[in-house]
Amino acid sequence: MIKASDQPKPILRKYFGTDGIRGHVGVWPINAEFILKLGWAVGVVLARQGGHGKVLIGKDTRISGYMFESVLEAGLSAAGVNTHLLGPMPTPAIAYLTRTLRAQAGIVISASHNPYYDNGIKFFSAMGTKLPDELELAIEDQIEKAMTTVDSAELGKAVRVNDAPGRYIEFCKSTVSSEITLNGLKIVVDCANGAAYHIAPNVFSELGAEVIEIGVEPNGLNINLDCGATHPEILRRHVLKENADLGIALDGDGDRVVFVDHDGTILDGDELLYIIVKHRHQTGLLKGGVVGTVMTNFGFEYAMNELHIPFTRVPVGDRHIMSELHKNHWHIGGEPSGHILCSDQITTGDGIVTALQVLSVMRQTKLSLKELTKGLNKYPQVLVNVKVTENTDPNHKPRILEFLKYIEKELAGTGRVLLRRSGTEPLVRVMVEGKDEYRVQQLANELAVVVREELVKS
């Protein structure tokens, strides 16, 4: 049994959450005034780290990205740091370009899978990885100080990187063997009206696939709106309507991916991770084991045991997955959401690269997605998101704790219950997993009611 209280306590930060700083646009700290100060603080800290280098700024397609791009640029300039503007680019592309363009840091303006009215800022180090804790804490400390401006002769300049999409498309294609082509495959690609809208279709078509594009008309307001990896039903309909071989859906910032098989079956991150891991294991390319999270289906863990592959769980978030991979010198991990890390290919989760790994396995084995997932028998798992108004750890509420004990007794060692606060939204995520699907659904709904009654102010 894994509960939120079992997870390691994070370092307390005032602004940074599990994945940067995120919230509702116009509501502090996601407003122009704070983000200007943030840009300045980042610039000051980076200048202190070693000279006046350059910082990359990329964004997804939500309308507020224009505003935050401008104020970040201004704040960095005030600190004497040059900026290179990438425009709309997937989050993993910004990580890749930060490293290859030898920037001091990369900044992503995105709220990932959230609606357009949310936005956020997250950072990559010069190596394309998440910022270390000490750097985030240094930035938070700098924000508390009065903003200053360097001498006019030392102000940072800004240039636009016009060839960023082409650079990244070529990188994505390079992550699979040059012998792999997608000729003869008809693929529906849903880009969620997000950052990959001008990237993903080109990657798959340049490798030979017939691509049917959806979710490629961003207007600033329709990112993730009833489309993409968080809403794969529209992809499923298009795959069946077009009689396609498969469908691929990304989220708004392009770091998550889910698939749809030719018969309309939706494959989440657990199934895609299983396909990649099993093939690497069979071909002798798997180094060590696999990292999942507390949300990874128990059926995946059982399948790893059957293959004698080491498996470990960490709290939700790619930061935790990458840390565990690095600690164990392993290469692959992921989440059911479709956020998968192949650290031998790229430094962060990448929906396009993940999709190419799966397609490469299909081509090499000449097997369908359904055949490739044989051996993975997932337990029924129900996830209920409860919107809350009280910022309290649900595991500290006596009534909730009492109900958790009741569920544990009901499952009798044949399932799991997990209760955790979202690090990016005002939600408590209720997850119940077990062999009896009807009873699992019932218990999840009952627990959600208790959480709602305890954590929603009337």
Active site (catalytic) residues: 112
Pairing mode, strands 415-421 and 427-434? antiparallel
The pair of three-digit structure tokens given for residue 344, joined into one six-digit string: 């031998």
The tokens describing 180, both together, are: 């792999």
Rounded to whole angstroms, the Cα distance separating 411 from 420 reads 19
* H or E stretch covering 351: helix 351-365
Give the residues across from 121 on adjacent strands: 21, 109
Residue 305, CA distances (Å) to 2, 42, 274, 298, 447 in order:
18, 44, 12, 11, 30
Length of the chain counted residue by residue: 458
What letter represents residue 152's amino acid? S
Provide the b/e sequence for 425-451 (b: ≥16 CB within 10 Å): beebbbbbbbeeeebbeebbebbbebb
- Kindly report the three-state secondary structure assignment for every residue of 221-277: CCCCCCCCCCCCHHHHHHHHHHCCCEEEEECCCCCCEEEEECCCCEECHHHHHHHHH
What's the CA gap between 444 and 428, in Å, rounded?
12
What element of type H or E holds 430?
strand 427-434
Backbone angles phi and psi of 124, in degrees to 5 = -120, 145
Question: Hey, what's the torsion of the CAs at 162, 318, 358, 266, to 10 degrees?
Answer: -110
Q: Pairing state of beta strands 246-250 and 210-214? A: unpaired
Contact 340, 257 (CB under 8 A): yes
Q: Rounded to an integer, what is the distance from CA 419 to the centroid of its chain? A: 20
Tally Cβ neighbours within 10 Å of residue 380: 17
